[in-house]
Amino acid sequence: MSLSDAFRWNTRYSNEKYVWENYPPKQLLLDYESLLPSGGRVLDAASGLGATGRFLSRKGFQVISLDISINGLRMAQEKYQDIGLPFHGAVFDLSTPWLPEDHFSVILNFCFLERGALWEYQKSLKPGGLLFFESFVKDREDIEYSNHYLEKGELQAAFKGFDVIHYGRIDWMSHHGSSQRKVDQLVARKPK
């Protein structure tokens, strides 16, 4: 990530607030909700307005929201406050992160890829912790910001020591309905 990424996302959240305001929790998490522990700390990486994190906060999890966009985090904080939930968030560049070891029960990573964070996710999940990961796949050469797209097989390789609960590739439609992309999904548990 960079200052230009922060500027781009701050601008998008400001200009497209109406689109992001009522975004629902990610379906991948809802599909595997029954696997969630009874509580604990959740890392919501590149959280944006935090719809998925709010869903877990309502269930009693302590959610830590990290994002490069201060506008996204401010909007998330408003959403949390509107429903009476505590908000824990920080502007954070996930390209060179440090995360505490064996700290999170759940890590959420949706529509985002920063390769520098992958090892940190492995390290910072508690044994038995769950990873929910969904990101775009590079399926053609002319993609803008192609370094933010997974290569074929990259997601499975990054978490090869984890117990895979679900892996799949789906077609994803943008919130504007203007573009369709391929997305890889992974739900995996860190071995105990």
Range of the domain at 86: 3-17+26-189
CATH number for the domain including 30? 3.40.50.150
Both structure tokens of 54: 């709010």
Query: Minimal CA–CA distance to 35: which of 56, 64, 58?
Result: 56
Rg (CA), the chain: 16
**Run means of pLDDT, 10 residues per run, the chain, 192 residues:** 77 76 88 96 94 95 95 93 95 90 97 90 97 85 66 90 92 60 91 94
Strands of the chain (E only): list them.
41-45, 62-67, 88-91, 104-110, 125-136, 163-173, 180-189
Residue environment code for 71-103, b if the CB has 16+ CB neighbours within 10 A, otherwise e = bbbbbbbebbeeeeeebbbeebbbeebebeeeb
Strand 88-91 vs strand 104-110: parallel, antiparallel, or unpaired?
unpaired
What is the pLDDT, as a whole number, of residue 171? 73
Are 124 and 154 within 8 A, CB to CB? no
DSSP, collapsed to helix, strand or coil, labels residue 134 as strand
What is the pLDDT, as a whole number, of residue 69? 92
Predicted TM-score (pTM) of this structure: 0.89
The DSSP-derived string for 69-123 is -HHHHHHHHHHHHHTT---EEEE--TTS----TT-EEEEEEES---HHHHHHHHH
User: How many domains does the chain contain in total?
Assistant: 1
Residue 20's region, left for phi above 0, alpha for psi from -120 to 50, else beta, is: alpha
